Structure 1
């Protein structure tokens, strides 16, 4: 089936290369439209890896005469590209040390009073973390935490309104929150880069002044609509949130105990053949 999708996408590109361009549209624009359709098919069907599709788009443009190779690859010199790379590094550092999970558990615990407030809390937590990390990364690490809560609540897949609302809240929360800062999504710094090229520059805080009010308005409105469409059938989730918090705290304590044992084994006198009492600071 993948071969069929690949053949279809390449056939569409060939079609746009050999067909005459319609009136009012340049030859380059017509061929580029065919490349766009090819990319959409390959991205939706995932017939080839997503990254490979991106490379194919860049390669076909100079090959088919849409744009000069220097112009195509010059886009990588845009400062927005390096900003996006830096935001990915920040997200990777947070994930490596588990900082994102601790923040998420603490924030979700504050919204555990009722199912409605919890669903709104999922949106708030997703939006808040998307201010500092890529929205896709936020959704990826929040998903197993929310799945654990749904398992504790014994939510039936495709039947539980609470489960459906929680998953949709995660999606919309991270998407809305990603509007707030330039770190939330690649489209934000890219937009800044395009505006800068035409002489209209926006700083990080100027972007926030425009977008944060939209985020603050959109979150409660979307949460209200979501709860109307999928009213939660459960009565309380305090036990699930408490259990999740206790598990995370226990895991943190275990890691701290392992570190203390390691330090004790490294610095205790008995480990070096001495028999005098170990100072209380290492006990």
Structure 2
């Protein structure tokens, strides 16, 4: 086996773990993919003849790459907003690997990703690598350029900051759960043809905006009122599943990578007040879709 082939084999053997590390540090899979690509470039250019623990070595490299990316992000003063929340799972991720999907979904939920955005780069690296991936402080210290004591203090400070915003995030996650339950009820009622149940989840003055690219069966661009909207969705939504659409709860028909159409919802006082159906492929490609974890 050539050296290049051996490196490829080693890298692929650790790819899932590296992506899990990068995702938890960076918060988005798109950036995690960039970090994985940069890690491969550094691996391919390095002399690995003396590397005894390839997994540990690659974890160090991807963590350093992520640290550089976090520092670059901070220097551009990128702020986390509700229009740019961390991704739970990317819509473009290849879902063919169940193990990889599990790595992306377990142990770090929406609330934790938001908490991590509150930490500075060094705190974030120390916290993620120690508290989530169980690396020792002696292993983490060289990555962030601190001594072991300082690294321990960074992780401790990060832990306190996480606890400090925990109640706020629990409230946000509870609200997300309520919205998820409402959309689940809407999908079930639509699929089962339960007109009366649909009326209970729709605001009496709900507005539905249909995409003109949607199949000809849908002719009305805008539908007003719960009766008319419920009538349109009764007996439909087969195959629909709840997702995050640009950070808000929605629904998708078809695979995330190639959706047939997407429904965006506006929810006020536990009622659906606005809905938008998106079927145009150009618009669909611009949406940030993410799987909603079960609660």
Fold similarity call, TM over 0.5: no
Q: Which has more strand, going by share of residues?
A: 2
- Structure having the higher Rg: 1
Which structure features the higher share of helix residues? 1
Normalised by the length of structure 2, the TM-score is 0.26
